[in-house]
Amino acid sequence: KRMGGYKIQDTKAKRKFGMTLEHLNTLLQKQKYLCGLCYCQLTTDTASTDRINNNLGHIDGNIFISCVKCNTARKDMSLKGFRYKKLLEFNSDRLVYSIDREEKDIYAKMKTNIAGGPSIIFNRYAKHNETKIRGDKVCKKIIGYDANALYLWALGNEMPCGRLTTVEAYDGIIDDIKADKVFGFLECDIRTPDHLKDYFREMTPIFKNVLIDCTDESDIGKHMFDYNQSRTSNRSKPARKLIGSYFGEKMLIYTPLLKWYLSHGMEIAKTYCFIKASSHKAFAPFMEAASNARREGDVDKFKAMIAEMMKLVGNSAFGRSGMDMSKHKEVKYESSDKAIKSKIEHFTFHWLEELNAC
């Protein structure tokens, strides 16, 4: 009876009908007799056939089994959009953790090891024909370099995927890292040998956040010390700053970067633990899509606007992914119990104060 109803629907809409009972039975077994949208248990009264692409008819390969309620509610909505809607409804009164209790120590360790990146780190002040570099050599010119699509390149590299687990550092872990047998983050002490300090002098290899005393000339140099002193009442106070260094203690270092350090002669003084992950280029398709769009914009001027948009999307994806949302707070006022519960269950919830006067 239902097969006949689907056939009549397709005939009226001038769509091709090609659905078989054998295919329906296969789908039911594959879906374990659950709705393909809300995953409720199906019965003879609630089971129905829904189309994946609403522009096509009920044909084998374009159908799946859903409950009557979801089939009716979906209407012409895309399959992806409706599933996202059902996911939000399912988790509306559940507090879902992206990082569970077992991983919270790893999360805290990784967060404290975020140091930021260098920007104009070579010298804060240089003057033509006056400033001396490399001993007694006079600075004649300053050259700046800009890396093309650096953020996209970084996103396209190997990423730590899967469930992160902590293992104790063992003998031979450095050799395993060099041989690509393990992937993740090594917590270790690292240093630059004395004979390589001259090689790394212009750009020290380790970046870390340390407490800098702006009232100490030996910490910040004469130029910045004089500038800070000239600010009188608005002088900078001691604060944590990003610096370049020859060594790092208990630093969590990503294995691709650690391999670069080791290949350039740096030494591991002590190992503590290793955070193990699976290696995958998770964002490589996104990198290729953004890069190809920008290349097309260079060739075809009519696609220049799309290229500029994809440049913005590519750059913002990197920054947004690394943004510390825990520092962003917003105050909202709610009066209904349902709205209050929804806000409390949201992953960004921080604190609640009851206003009795309201």
In sequence order, the 6+-apart residues with CB closer than 8 A to the CB of 327 are: none
Are both 155 and 251 inside the same structural domain? yes
Percent of the chain with pLDDT over 90: 39
Are both 21 and 158 inside the same structural domain? no
Last residue of a domain, one of 30, 64, 90: 90
Residues 215-274 have pLDDT tens digits of: 888 878 888 888 888 887 888 888 888 888 999 999 999 999 999 999 999 999 999 999
The partner residues of 64 in beta bridges, in order of sequence, read: 50
Are both 240 and 289 inside the same structural domain? no
- DSSP per-residue string spanning 2-29: HHHHHHHHHHHTT---B--HHHHHHHHH
Are both 250 and 182 inside the same structural domain? yes
Residues 303-346 have pLDDT tens digits of: 999 999 998 998 888 888 777 777 788 888 888 888 888 888 77
Assign residue 17 the CATH number of its domain.
3.30.40.220
Are both 260 and 242 inside the same structural domain? yes
The region, left, alpha or beta by phi > 0 then psi within -120 to 50, assigned to residue 2 is alpha
Residue 169 resides in a domain: yes
Which pair of tokens denotes residue 304? 């220049």
Are both 240 and 112 inside the same structural domain? yes
Last residue of a domain, one of 231, 257, 280: 280
Find the domain containing 59 and state its range: 2-90
Residue 350 resides in a domain: no
Q: State the average pLDDT over residues 288-313.
A: 91
3-state secondary structure of 161: strand
- DSSP per-residue string spanning 126-153: --TTT-EETTTEEP--------TTHHHH
Average pLDDT of the chain, as a whole number = 87
Are both 186 and 149 inside the same structural domain? yes
Are both 79 and 127 inside the same structural domain? no
Domain tally, the chain: 3
